[in-house]
């Protein structure tokens, strides 16, 4: 029987045999982005469960009929940025995570976006053959099809073994230690790895020490990251869910993405983080 464990709104959710169990309280009371995507003004265990139900019913999340739609969902999402930078030749592949497959190496920009468009943090997952087959038929490989393990450091090593020289990797806060491991490998092997830190609502102070080594950081609902990472950022994209670029490489990626962004934007100098009261998620006390 397939079993998957994910984070959604800071809550831990277990999916087994198509049944959803929200095993911990969500960390978020309200999130404008979540409301826009799923319609819940306030967030509790029931809202989290209904959100996951909607993702399963509409997009085949954790299901055999999983949808890989590469349309833009989140204006400044990691997969959206990776897709554009791959299309522009700044990246050759992405090491990401997909439920039902685990760590994935994707060299097709549309596949990278199709995997990440509506993805939430995958803590662990079980193999779903239809998902693995789709990935392997559309420009990607699965790190371990037998176990569907999630290990982003091993994914980066595999991508380098395959000959990719410019790659991106997404790392969730609960695997933040892998960021330091990837940096050590990058230095040793002379690789070129752009690290996107994602799914950071539950990030701890210790995890923030590793996250500070990333190139681009999604602050999610984390006040710790707004304070510690935001103040070190070279550029911030967005206000509701800020994306912070911490390195020149990350800054170039962000600006490259914005060069293709279809909507109007405003740019001005500011001390970072730039926060607007009432615009971001509301955390539980």
Domain boundaries, the chain: 1-63, 70-275
pLDDT at 75: 87
% of residues, the chain, pLDDT over 90: 85
Instruction: Indicate the pairing of strand 122-124 with strand 3-8.
Output: antiparallel
Is the C-alpha dihedral spanning 233, 151, 107, 191 positive or negative? positive
When pLDDT is cut at 50, 70 and 90, the band that residue 246 belongs to is very high
pLDDT at 159: 98
When pLDDT is cut at 50, 70 and 90, the band that residue 96 belongs to is very high
When pLDDT is cut at 50, 70 and 90, the band that residue 114 belongs to is very high
pLDDT(253) > 90 = yes
Which of 268, 173, 279 has its CA nearest to residue 228? 173
For residue 11, report the phi and psi dihedrals to the nearest 5 degrees.
-95, 150
Contact between 3 and 20 under an 8 Å Cβ cutoff? The reply is: no
pLDDT at 151: 98
pLDDT at 136: 97
pLDDT(1) > 70 = no
pLDDT digits (tens, 9 = 90+) for 35-87: 888 888 889 999 999 999 999 999 999 999 999 999 888 889 999 999 999 99
Rounded Cα distance, 71 and 113, in Å = 8
pLDDT at 127: 97
pLDDT at 138: 97
pLDDT(285) > 80 = no
Rounded Cα distance, 162 and 46, in Å = 44
Mean pLDDT in the chain? 94
């Amino acid at each position: 029987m397939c079993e998957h464990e994910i984070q959604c709104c800071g809550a831990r959710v277990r999916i087994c045999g198509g049944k959803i169990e929200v095993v911990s309280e969500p960390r978020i009371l309200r999130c404008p982005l979540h409301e826009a995507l799923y319609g819940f003004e306030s967030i509790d265990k029931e809202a989290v469960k209904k959100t996951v139900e909607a993702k399963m019913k509409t997009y085949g999340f954790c299901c055999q009929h999983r949808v890989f739609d590469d349309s833009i969902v989140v204006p400044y999402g990691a997969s959206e940025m990776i897709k554009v930078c791959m299309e522009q030749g700044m990246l050759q592949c992405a090491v990401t995570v997909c439920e039902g497959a685990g760590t994935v190496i994707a060299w097709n920009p549309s596949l990278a976006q199709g995997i990440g468009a509506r993805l939430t943090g995958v803590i662990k997952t079980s193999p779903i053959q239809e998902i693995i087959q789709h990935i392997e038929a559309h420009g990607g490989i699965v790190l371990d099809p037998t176990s569907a393990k999630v290990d982003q450091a091993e994914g980066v090593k595999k991508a380098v073994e395959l000959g990719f020289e410019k790659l991106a990797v997404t790392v969730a806060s609960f695997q933040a230690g892998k960021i330091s491991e990837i940096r050590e490998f990058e230095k040793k092997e002379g690789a070129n790895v752009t690290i996107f830190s994602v799914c950071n609502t539950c990030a701890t102070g210790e995890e923030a020490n590793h996250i500070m080594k990333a190139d681009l950081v999604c602050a999610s609902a984390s006040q710790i990251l707004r304070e510690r990472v935001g103040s070190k950022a070279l550029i911030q994209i967005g206000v509701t869910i800020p994306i912070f670029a911490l390195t020149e490489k990350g800054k170039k990626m962000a600006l490259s993405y914005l060069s293709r962004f279809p909507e109007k934007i405003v740019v001005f100098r500011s001390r970072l983080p730039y926060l607007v009261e009432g615009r971001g998620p509301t955390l539980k006390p």
